[in-house]
Amino acid sequence: MVKFTITENDAGQRLDRFFKKYYCNASLAYIYKLIRKDVKVNGKKCKQNFLLNAGDAVHIYISDDEHKRMILKDKGVQIKPSFKIIFEDDNLLVVYKRAGLLTHGSSTEKKRTLLNEVKTYLIQKGEYDPGFEKTFSLATSNRLDRNTEGLIAIAKNAASQRELNAAFKEGRIERYYVAEVVGEVRGDVTIDYPLYKSAKNNTVFADKDGSVPPDVTKEAITKVHPIRVNRIDKNGSEFTYTVVRVKLLTGRTHQIRVHLAAIGHPLVNDRKYLKYANVSSKYLNPDKRDKYSLIADKIAFFKMNSPLEYMSNTYLDTSVVK
C-alpha cells in the first residue's frame, strides 16, 4: 500500500487529473480502474471528479513496485545558469534569457535550456525538489524563440502557476518587444492576419487574403510603433531599418516575425522569414551580426488574482539588468 498527504502544490485538482500527472506511465484505463477499486481519500472511495484539498490523506492499494513503475521522475538536470534575475519572491521568478538559448527542450537539444537552468537554480536554493513533488513541475508561462532574448516568467508553486498561465491567456499580462526591421515604418500599425503553421518545415504563414479555412488558422494581433529610422551606408549600398516597439495581444509561434514580414518589414537578418517578404538579401547580416534583433524587454501585470494579486500594476523591464 502507498500513502501520502496532498500538499498545497497538489491541491485544487480533480482526482483523475492528479493521477494523470502523477502516474505518467499509466494508461487512462489503468487510472480510472485504479480510482474505482484501489484509491481512498480520507478513508473513503471517491469519484474521479473529486476535488483534492491540501491535507487530504490518499491511500493507494497497490504494491510499492507497481507504484514505482507508474511514476516518471523529473531527474532535475543540473545546468549552470546563464540568465539574469529581473524579479524574484516566494511565488514568482522573472528572468532575462540570452539569445541562442532554447526556452524548452527540443528533439535536438534537451539539456541546455532555460527551464533546466531555472530548475538548477531553484534546486540549489532549496526551493524546488523534483523528487518530492508529485504533480507540480516548474514551467515557463511564456516562451521566446531561441534567438530572441528577454523576459520570461516562471511560477514557483502550483497556485501561482495557474494564475500566471491564466493571466497570460486572458491578456492580463502585456508583453512588449523592441525590434529592428527592414525599411522605414512610417506610422503605427495594427496587424491582425490569422496565422497557420506548416508542419513540414516548422514555418508559420500569415493568411493575408482570408483564403485559408478558419479552422486551420489562429487569431493573432500585433501592434507596431516606430521609434526611430536608421540609415547605414556601406560600400555604396544604403541600408534603411526602423527600430520599433511591438506589443503582442496574442502569443502565437513566430507571431512577431511573421506579421512584420507580412507587411514588408521583416526583422533585419531574419533568415527564415526575410525571403517571404520579397526583401533584398542585402539585409542578411548587413553589419556582420549573426542573429536578428528582437528583445522582449517589458512585461506589465494587470488585475492579477491570488496568490499574485500584489503584482497588479507592476511593470518589469530590462532597465534593471546589470
Read off the DSSP letter of residue 322: -
Provide the pLDDT confidence category of residue 288 given band limits of 50, 70 and 90.
low
Contact in structure between 193 and 257 (CB atoms under 8 Å)? no
- The rounded distance, in Å, linking the Cα atoms of 211 and 239 is 34
- The rounded distance, in Å, linking the Cα atoms of 150 and 295 is 5
Same CATH fold assignment for domains 2-71 and 84-170:
no
Sorted by sequence, the CB contacts under 8 Å of residue 229 that are 6+ apart come out as 184, 185, 240, 241, 242, 243
* DSSP of 149-200: EEEEEEESSHHHHHHHHHHHHHT-EEEEEEEEEES---S-EEE---EEEETT
- Which tens digit of pLDDT belongs to each residue from 11-30? 999 999 999 989 988 999 99
**Cα–Cα distances in Å, from 86 out to 25, 94, 151, 152?**
37, 5, 8, 9
Provide the pLDDT confidence category of residue 314 given band limits of 50, 70 and 90.
very high
- The rounded distance, in Å, linking the Cα atoms of 304 and 168 is 10
Contact in structure between 226 and 260 (CB atoms under 8 Å)? no
- Which tens digit of pLDDT belongs to each residue from 38-62? 999 999 999 999 999 999 999 999 9
Q: Say which residue the cell 488585475 belongs to.
A: 303
The confidence score (pLDDT) of residue 76 equals: 54
**Cβ atoms < 10 Å from Cβ of 204:** 21
Provide the pLDDT confidence category of residue 75 given band limits of 50, 70 and 90.
low
The confidence score (pLDDT) of residue 102 equals: 93
The confidence score (pLDDT) of residue 94 equals: 98
The confidence score (pLDDT) of residue 132 equals: 85
Q: Is 322 exposed, middle or buried (0-12, 13-18, 19+ CB in 10 A)?
A: exposed
The confidence score (pLDDT) of residue 290 equals: 53
Q: Kindly state the percentage of the chain with pLDDT values over 90.
A: 71
For residue 270, the SS3 value is coil
Q: Can you give the residue ranges of every domain in the chain?
A: 2-71, 84-170, 176-296
- Given the candidates 3.30.1020.10, 3.30.2350.10, 3.40.50.150, 3.90.870.30, the CATH classification of the domain at 84-170 is 3.30.2350.10
Sorted by sequence, the CB contacts under 8 Å of residue 232 that are 6+ apart come out as 238, 239, 241, 286, 287
Contact in structure between 85 and 154 (CB atoms under 8 Å)? no
The confidence score (pLDDT) of residue 321 equals: 43
Mean predicted confidence (pLDDT) in 58-86: 84
CATH architecture of the region 2-71: Roll (3.10)
Mean predicted confidence (pLDDT) in 300-320: 92
Mean predicted confidence (pLDDT) in 257-267: 94
Q: Say which residue the cell 507504484 belongs to.
A: 67
Q: Which CATH class is domain 176-296?
A: alpha beta
Would you say the pTM of this structure is higher than 0.85? Answer: no
- The rounded distance, in Å, linking the Cα atoms of 315 and 308 is 14
pLDDT at 180 over 80: yes
Buried b (16+ CB within 10 A) or exposed e, 120-152: bbbbeeeebebeebbbbebebbbbbbebbbbbb
- Which tens digit of pLDDT belongs to each residue from 111-148? 889 999 999 999 999 999 887 888 899 999 999 988 89
The confidence score (pLDDT) of residue 322 equals: 36
**Cβ atoms < 10 Å from Cβ of 190:** 11
pLDDT at 230 over 50: yes
Cα-to-chain-centroid distance, residue 29:
31
The confidence score (pLDDT) of residue 5 equals: 95
- The rounded distance, in Å, linking the Cα atoms of 123 and 291 is 32
Q: Say which residue the cell 520599433 belongs to.
A: 244
Q: Look up residue 81 and give its amino acid.
A: P
